[in-house]
Amino acid sequence: MLNLIGLQKFYGKKSVLNDLNFQFTEGQVYGIVGPNGAGKTTLFRCLIGLEDFAGRIQRNENAAKQHIGYVPAEPYFLPKITGKEYLTLLLEARNKSVQEDAAYHVFDIPLDQYINTYSTGMKKKLALLGSLLQNNHIYIFDEVYNGLDFQSCLMVTDIIQRLRSQGKLILMASHIFSLMEETCDTILYLKEGKFDMISERKDFASMKQHISQDLRDSQLDALFPPHTVR
């Protein structure tokens, strides 16, 4: 369980997150959507302790930082390190081990090669694999589908569904709303630092229409002004 109580984040005088209140519970998949700069990544960084904030985040023991797996939109890797060495570091950091060697090869990544030779998609899959091998209680995925091929996207969706069935808590952000519709139980629309709309699965279509209308009202009219009727 993660409970946001009046969560606020400022960069100087600029408000990025403004009085967020919500409770995330185990066995559910939550999607965070919103325009670029809405605060999605900042929210995730607050949840894992990489950002200071005002307000409170209540946690149960399964939501302690050592039980959270975070896959950022652009994973960072040490230079001159192989994929296998990276996974070993992550497992040793949590005092975990892998029982089945086949688990290392789920994504068919060349683990003996240096990570700086990997493609963008391979790096994303390596970061995801490391988080999964740690067997965390909570998973936070920031744009996890970015850079992945179609088959890998299907695998990630299946992985998320299996994590849910194990009672894990999953938070994810993506700009691909169709993937969120397929995967999430609840989607939160973050706009100007607030949860502008919160929808469960049965209301996803209405949320999509609401977000689309926001886009048209705020941006597209300037590019495509209405034609004057003659």
Closest CA to 190 of 7, 38, 25: 38
> Phi-psi bin for 55: left (phi > 0), alpha (psi -120 to 50), beta?
left
Residue 92 belongs to a domain:
no
Has residue 46 got a pLDDT over 90? Answer: yes
Least confident of 98-102, 138-142, 147-151, 158-162: 98-102
CA distance 230 to 227: 9
Residue 105 belongs to a domain:
no
**Residue 3 phi/psi, 5° resolution?**
-120, 115
Has residue 56 got a pLDDT over 80? Answer: yes
Domain that holds residue 203: 2-78+134-218
Residues 6+ apart with CB under 8 A from 194: 18, 19, 20
Has residue 192 got a pLDDT over 70? Answer: yes
Q: How many domains does the chain have?
A: 1
Mean pLDDT confidence for 4-28 = 95
Residue 49 belongs to a domain:
yes
pLDDT band, residue 47 (cuts 50/70/90): very high
pLDDT band, residue 230 (cuts 50/70/90): low
Residue 110 belongs to a domain:
no
Average pLDDT, the chain: 91
- Write out pLDDT tens, residues 204-227: 999 999 988 876 665 666 767 766
Residue 172 belongs to a domain:
yes
Residue 129 belongs to a domain:
no
Of residues 213 and 145, more confidently modeled? 145
Has residue 31 got a pLDDT over 60? Answer: yes
C-beta of residue 68 within 8 angstroms of C-beta of residue 136: yes
- In percent, the amount of the chain with pLDDT more than 70 equals 93
Has residue 83 got a pLDDT over 70? Answer: yes
Residue 109 belongs to a domain:
no
Q: What pLDDT sits at residue 176?
A: 86
Q: What pLDDT sits at residue 74?
A: 93
- Write out pLDDT tens, residues 99-119: 788 999 999 899 999 999 999
Dihedral over Cα of 220, 182, 107, 88: its sign: positive
Residue 169 belongs to a domain:
yes
Q: Is 11 helix (H, G, I), strand (E, B) or coil?
A: strand
Has residue 138 got a pLDDT over 90? Answer: yes
Q: Write the single-letter amino acid at 94.
A: R
Q: What pLDDT sits at residue 63?
A: 59
Q: What pLDDT sits at residue 175?
A: 86
- CATH number of the domain residue 158 falls in: 3.40.50.300
C-alpha dist (Å) from residue 187 to 4, 35, 122, 195, 218: 16, 14, 27, 10, 21
Residues 6+ apart with CB under 8 A from 93: none
DSSP-assigned states of every residue in 169-227: EEEEE-S-HHHHHHH-SEEEEEETTEEEEEEEGGGHHHHHHHHHHHHIIIIIHHHSPPP
